[in-house]
Structure 1
Amino acid sequence: MQHIIDRFIGYATIDTQSDPTSDSTPSTEKQWVLAQKLAEELQEIGMKNVSIDDNAYIMATLPGNVDKKIPTIGFISHFDTSPDFSGTNVNPRIIENYDGGDIVLNAADNIVLSPDYFEDLLFYKGQTLITTDGTTLLGADDKAGIAEIVTAMEYLIQHPEIEHGEIKVGFTPDEEIGRGAHRFDVEKFGADWAYTVDGSQIGELEYENFNAASAKIVIKGKSVHPGYAKNKMINAISLAHEFMKALPHEETPQNTSKREGFFHVHHIQGEIEHAELELIIRDHDRNQFERRKRLLQKTAESLNEKHGKQITLELKDQYYNMREKVEPVFHIVEIAKAAMEAVGVTPIIKPIRGGTDGSQLSFMGLPCPNIFAGGHNFHGKYEYIPVESMLKAVEVIVKICELTASKE
């Protein structure tokens, strides 16, 4: 247990926060610190063909140890952390034999991790938790996944009696800003399929995610003295409000769950002569996803007819539901499910209410379901991870490699 704790904390204390405003890859120079460390560590444990390219993408190979032909599989995680919350000076705390009560993360600021609000904590009573100190995120998303993959590869190297085919490992920057797969060289990676180790609670197994698009609405207005404005003023702020009112009130993140899609206005700014709205569109169903985009287009057209051509809409697709790429090779999900069951983990198969590098990779020709890394409450000060979940993730990775070999 201590070995994986030390490995994870060694990663977590390196600031790797990505930056959506940057055009470089990686988006922040500080990501190179952990990238270089990981490349060196992969060599130290005995991985072969370790490489790190000009964009900080890391790849390595564990050669197969059997003569028969076995599919080449891969495991992928990202080393950046979210720009949503500070990743500087991460100071992990270790809570042994968690008693099921409140955990005071920071007494000075009265920051408490409580099962009264975060009910999942009670699943881990008696286990060892790693938490934040209440001032930063932890970085289990996805440094836990990296720690688990490296530990699993190390275990396989130290236990050559476990039969497996060729295994590929890939670590990426900038996943948290949606660019983790953009420069991933699928052909160089050379796997038949892969798994991202980037899920949350123990048992998660996901092969569905949202279809996603972004929208930017720019509204032009006309400013006239309010005392003489009748039939002359066009208030861009009012038009922005009118546009938002046209969207279904209940179809927002705070009102939806499971497979329900939504519109999410996440940015608004304006004055009389100029206003802007930015929102995202999400839906698991491709037809519903297209319907949502058409609603935005029709709303813009309708308001333009009513007020003159004052509105410009820019729509951009971001990623798609990987289910359509994974279902034709569904045995890769069944292998992960069987691996979990073999090591005593109950699979939780559900759609991701978000995106994943696995989605983009699946559409790039590398089918890539997602398995749990074990963390909770990502992207904030209440983030934590049970060490026992990390250890089970290691077992699952090892078992996937073993089962892939035994099924051929």
Structure 2
Amino acid sequence: MNEKIIKDKLVENFLKYLAIPSQSDDKKKEVPSSPGQWEMAKVLGADLEDLGLVDIKINEYGVLQARLPKRGGKSRAIGWVAHLDTVDVGLSDRIHPQIIKSYDGKDIKLNEEITFSIKDNPEVLAYIGDDIIFTDGTSVLGADNKAAIANIMTALWFLKENPDIDHADIFIAFIPDEEIGLRGARKIDFDEFKVDYAYTIDCCELGELVYETFNAASGTLKVRGVSAHPMSAKGNLVNPIMIAHDFIAMLDRAKMPENTENREGYIWLTDIKSDVLNLRLDFNIRNHDREKFEASKEYLYKITDLLKERYKKAQIEIEISDVYDNIRDSMNEENKVAVERLAAIFKKLGIEEKIIPMRGGTDGSFLSRKGIFTPNYFTGAHNFHSNKEFLPIDSFYKSFLVTLNLMQDDF
């Protein structure tokens, strides 16, 4: 089967899934948070059935799971996880992609009002002569994560079309609401996802490989002060805003997101609401290093205790909950083959390996908490969460080749 046929199928699948609006909605508490994700799951379920997968189920949370039984080879079981939702950044949920053939290195008029400029996006110059998928400027492209879904579905199609190729036991989980806190990953039926390791395909340019993410926690400081009229406030009034001020003043400004990079962790104050009596302050804690992550939590508990001593009349509470873990912490001698295979396949395909510590998390960050080592590799796209998002088709194809090689049980 020649390269053009595969690329055409890959793009056809991508455009098919882009046509289903599936933005997640962080204002909704239910999972999935939008009806389009249900539609995506149903369409994909039918497609998986056509491709010969078994044990196809969509649970009450819109999680679609399936399995392709192994064909020959060894008994390795490998999983792929991709998310059904696209991000809501205030743009249209309707995606109108356009393919620029043989890109010429010039600015692109996405629509009458919006231009994709090479001055602001010089990385596109690496793809002169390539076919590239852009938006029309009114939405994100949705390569995050529909490029991954199309990638996986095309690899499964290729295996069906080539019955002489041996492959591993392949487990699939297409999940909702990744963009709003990895909600869908928590709803996977892990009794039906018995894998030796897994992969996500979520983000970034050709060659990027991630198996190190933040450890993440979120927290809330709640303060109930004492209200009093100014005529009798002295010695009585306890202002919750001033208590929060003291809390914030004891944080290190050098260890906040705007002042950190690479593997440097941070505490991020994300929201504050208050009146004269009650205050709520929300924050996030992030660090690649587990010991430093735990030390940040311990420090926040200590300064809260100090504030309780200082403001005995106030009610002060802090709550901190872990959200996800560093993927690398779940790597061991048995499952590190997942990264070794990626490295070998990148080399085989002539792809330069770009290992990055992600300043964020993937669904694999939650899966690592479940003991499933889940590295992440590139879709080939750039400018995620933007109307300037674009996907070079050659990079997209190479991501597909990585998936196809991983599925084959030849390592």
- Equivalent pairs counted in the alignment come to 402
Where does residue 322 of structure 2 map in the other structure? 317
Residues 99-158 of structure 1, C-alpha deviations (whole Å, 9 max, x = no match): 3333333433xx443343334323323222222222222211111100000011111221
Instruction: Please list every run of at least 4 consecutive aligned residues from structure 1 whose deviation after the TM superposition is greater than 6 angstroms.
Output: none
Alignment check: 8 A CA contact 1:209 1:353 kept: yes
Q: CA deviation at 1:315?
A: 0.9
* One of 6, 14, 23 as aligned partner of 1:8: 14
Q: Which residue of 1 aligns with 2:245?
A: 241
Aligned residue among 53, 58, 76 for 1:71: 76
Q: 1:247 to 1:161 in 2, by over 3 A?
A: same
Q: Letter of the aligned partner of 1:269 in structure 2?
A: K
Give secondary structure in 1 for the equivalent of 2:141: coil
Aligned to 2:160: 157
How far apart are 1:227 and its partner, in Å?
Answer: 6.6
TM-score normalised to structure 1 length: 0.92
Aligned-pair distance for 1:185? 1.7
Name 1:294's counterpart in structure 2: 298
Give yes or no for contact 2:63–2:184 (8 Å, CA) kept in 1: no
The amino acid across from 2:52 in the alignment is: G
Amino acid at match of 2:317: T
Aligned residue among 61, 79, 99 for 2:67: 61
Residue type of the alignment partner of 2:146: K
Q: Separation in 2 of the partners of 1:212 and 1:16?
A: 26
Q: By how many angstroms is 1:220 displaced?
A: 2.2
How far residue 226 of structure 1 moved from its aligned partner, in angstroms, is 4.7
Task: Say if 1:221 and 1:145 are closer, same or farther in 2 by CA, change over 3 A.
Answer: same
Matched, 1:129 2:132: yes
Distance 2:112 2:272 in 1: 35
Q: Which residue matches 2:373?
A: 367
C-alpha RMSD over aligned residues: 2.1
1:250 counterpart (249, 254, 275): 254
Alignment of 1:208-357 (within 5 A): 208-226=212-230, 229-308=233-312, 309-328=314-333, 329-357=335-363
Label 1:226 to 1:125 Cα distance change in 2 as closer, same or farther (>3 A).
farther
TM, length-normalised to structure 2 = 0.91
Mapped pair 1:401 → 2:407: yes
How many angstroms apart in 2 are the aligned matches of 1:53 and 1:243? Answer: 43
Distance, in Å, in 1 between the alignment partners of 2:121 and 2:196 is 39
User: What letter matches 1:95 in structure 2?
Assistant: I
SS of corresponding position for 2:281: strand
CA distance in 2, matches of 1:243, 1:98: 53
Q: Distance in 2 between matches of 1:80 and 1:208?
A: 23
Matched-pair contact (CA < 8 Å) for 1:199–1:205: no
Show CA shifts across 1:345-364 (max 9, x none): 11111222111111222332
Preserved CA contact (<8 Å) 1:129 1:386: yes
Letter in 2 for 1:289: F
Shift of 1:3: 2.6
Q: 1:266 to 1:113 in 2, by over 3 A?
A: farther
User: What is the DSSP-based 3-state SS (H/G/I as helix, E as strand, rest coil) of the residue aligned with 1:107?
Assistant: coil
- Alpha-carbon distance between aligned partners in 1 of 2:291 and 2:407, rounded to the nearest angstrom: 36
Shift of 1:230: 4.1
Q: In terms of mean alpha carbon deviation, does 357-366 or 333-342 score higher?
A: 357-366
In the alignment, structure 2 segments of 5+ residues that lack a partner are 1-6
Instruction: Report if aligned partners of 2:216, 2:322 keep a CA contact under 8 Å in 1.
Output: yes
Native 8 Å contact 1:97 1:126 kept in 2: yes
Matching residue of 2:4: none
Cα shift at 1:246:
1.5
**Structure-2 residue corresponding to 1:205:** 209
SS in 2 for 1:214: strand
Deviation sequence 1:283-326 (CA, Å, 0-9, x none): 00011001111121122122222222342211111111121212
Amino acid across the alignment from 2:359: R
Instruction: Give CA deviations for 1:81-110 in whole Å, capped at 9, x if unaligned.
Output: 2244445222222222223333333433xx
Give SS of 1:327's match.
coil
Higher mean C-alpha displacement, 85-94 vs 317-326: 85-94
**Does the residue aligned with 1:50 lie in a helix, a strand or coil?**
strand
Amino acid at match of 1:75: W
Name the CA shift for 1:225/1:105 in 2 (closer, same or farther; >3 Å). farther
Deviation at 1:334, TM superposition (A): 0.6
Question: 1:165-210 deviations in whole A, cap 9, x for unaligned?
Answer: 2222221112122212112122212322211111321111111111
Give, as a single letter, the amino acid of the residue that structure 1 aligns with 2:410. S
Paired with 2:51 and 2:353, the residues of 1 have a C-alpha distance of 30
Aligned to 1:30: 36
Residue 57 of structure 1, CA deviation? 1.7
Shift of residue 78 of structure 1?
0.8
